[in-house]
Amino acid sequence: MNSEISKGLYVWGEFDQESAYLVESLKKKVNKKLLGPNFKAHLTLSGPINYNENDDRKTFQNLCNKFFKLKIKLSGIGYRESYFQSLFLVVENSHDLNFLKKAIDEKTGVASKEYFPHVSLFYGNANEDLKKNLCRELAIPNEIYMEKISLVKIYKNIEQWETFETFYLRK
């Protein structure tokens, strides 16, 4: 695996049931042709972070109580020559999304860096022409909804990634 991701605890935005179904359906169509590893649909918000279960649980609960379910606007499908950004849904960088990310980074002490919000459909190395064809073939929704934030333990083996804790945004 050609991965450059750091092991540790990451903060993911996860979707409501309908949105998760739409994204997972797209991932299945992509993986029929590209054969990538299985992973849960998500929008990475921050990481890796240090997390003290006793001290930080309340911090995340309070943070999530300040934010309502977020509408995530999608503007297309993109691809790169990067293992973890190989084929993805392009997310519009909204004020609400940036505000949430900034709040998470401040609470966790993560230095803010350039943020490229996206929802991966495929991890791996694939032929550019195949990815271009998939971009033309797939019909994507205009928007999806993020309803929760999960802390996810990331390991070198993608199949071992596991959700450590989940916090729901306000409804």
What does the alpha-carbon distance between residue 77 and residue 88 come to, in Å, rounded to a whole number?
6
Q: Where do the domains of the chain lie?
A: 8-168
Q: Give the DSSP H or E segment for 104.
A: helix 95-108
Say which CATH class 8-168 falls into. alpha beta
Question: What is the maximum span of the chain, computed from C-alpha positions, in angstroms?
Answer: 49
Q: Give the DSSP H or E segment for 164.
A: strand 162-168
Q: pTM value?
A: 0.90
pLDDT tens for each residue of 69-111: 999 999 999 999 998 999 999 999 999 999 999 999 999 888 8
Q: In this structure, what token pair is assigned to residue 70?
A: 């977020």
